[in-house]
Amino acid sequence: MPTVNNLSDSELVQDLSAKYKNLRSEISKVIVGQDKIIEQVIISILSKGHCLLVGVPGLAKTLIVKTISDVLGVKFSRIQFTPDLMPSDITGTEIFDSYNNDGKKFKFIKGPVFANIILADEINRTPPKTQSALLEAMQEHKVTAAGTTYTLEEPFFVLATQNPIEQEGTYPLPEAQLDRFMFNLWLDYTNEEDEIEIIKKTTGTYIPEPQVIFSKNEIIGYQELIRKVPVADEVIKYTVGIVSKSRPNNPDAPKFIKDYISWGAGPRASQYLILGAKALSVLDGRFSPNIDDVKKVSKSVLRHRLIPNFNAEADNINILEIIENLFGK
C-alpha cells in the first residue's frame, strides 16, 4: 500500500476523502449521531487547530474524543480540571534522583500534556494560572519546565470541555485563551431515533472495537496537504471582508454589528475560516474550497470571537443570529 509520501497532492485528496468515510464508519460503531461535531473535530485536527466542546453532562463528549483518538491510532491523555489542579500537574515536574548516572540530581517527569490528543475536561473549573499552562503547548507545541524547553510530539491537539449549565465554582476562560481554540462546538441532545439506538448499544453485551484508520505519519501528511490546498483570491477577500465587518469600529460594519457587538474577530478568525474551508473541501474530495465552505465553518470559528454587548442581551439577540446576518444567511 502506498504511503502519503508516495502520493501526489491530487491523489492525497482522494485518499483522505476515502479514508474519512471509513473513519466515520468506525466511529459510528461507538458514537451514535453527533455527525456534525465529529466532522468539525476532524477538520480541526487536519487544520492543526484545537476545539472547545460545550455541552451538558451525558452527551458523550469524553467518549467522542477517546473514540477519535482510537481510530487515529494516537496517544490519548485526559486531564480532569479541578480547582486544586496545579500547572505542574499538566506539564510535568522535576523530582530528586539520587540514582541518576549522568550527574544530574533532578529528573523531569513528563505530565499528561505529553500526548497526541489531550482532553482538558471541564477546563473552566481550574484557576487561570493553571489554565495558562496549556497556552504555550497549544500555541507553540512546546512545554517549558525548570528552564528547559521540551517539544511535544506531533500531531498535537487539545479538546477542552465545558458544562454550560453549572457555573458555580468555575473560572471563565479569558478571551485571549478562547482565541487559541479554532472551533467552539456546542453539543445538543440527540434525536429520539438516535437515542433509541444508543440505549440498544449501551445496555447489552455489545462491546464495539473500532479499527485504526490513520497512522500518526498519515495525519501529519494530511495536515501538510491542507496547507498546500490552493484558495481563490475571491474566497480569501470575501473571508477577510466578513471578519473585518464584524468589528464595530469599522466604518463599513453593518448597523447590527455596531449595535450589538463590543469586540469583533481578529485575524486569527480569518486564518481559521480559510483552514477550515480547506479541510472541509478536501474531506469532500475537492482540491479547492469555495465561499460555501467558509460559511459552513463560520459559526464554529466566530461563536467565541464575537463579544456581544448589553444591548444584545437586553434585546435577546443570540450570537448565532448575528453570525448568520453577517454572512447573509
The DSSP secondary structure of 206-227, one letter per residue, reads: ----PPP---HHHHHHHHHHHH
- Please tell me the distance from the alpha carbon of residue 301 to that of residue 276, in angstroms, as a whole number: 9
Q: What is the mean pLDDT of residues 193-212?
A: 81
Write down the pLDDT at residue 193. 85
Cell numbers of 113, please?
500534556
Cell numbers of 152, please?
511535544
Of the chain, the percentage scoring pLDDT greater than 90 comes to 37
Q: What is the mean pLDDT of residues 156-163?
A: 88
* Alpha-carbon torsion angle 120, 123, 129, 133, nearest 10: 20
Q: What tens digit of pLDDT does each residue of 20-61 get?
A: 899 888 888 888 778 888 999 999 999 999 999 888 777 778
Q: What is the mean pLDDT of residues 152-173?
A: 80
Q: Average pLDDT, whole number, for the chain?
A: 86
Cell numbers of 39, please?
466532522
Q: What tens digit of pLDDT does each residue of 214-251 get?
A: 888 889 989 999 999 999 999 999 999 999 999 999 99
Domains annotated for the chain, with CATH where assigned, are 4-217 (3.40.50.300), 230-326 (1.10.8.80)
Which helix (H) or strand (E) is 118 found in, with range? strand 117-121
79: closest CA among 57, 94, 67, 62? 62
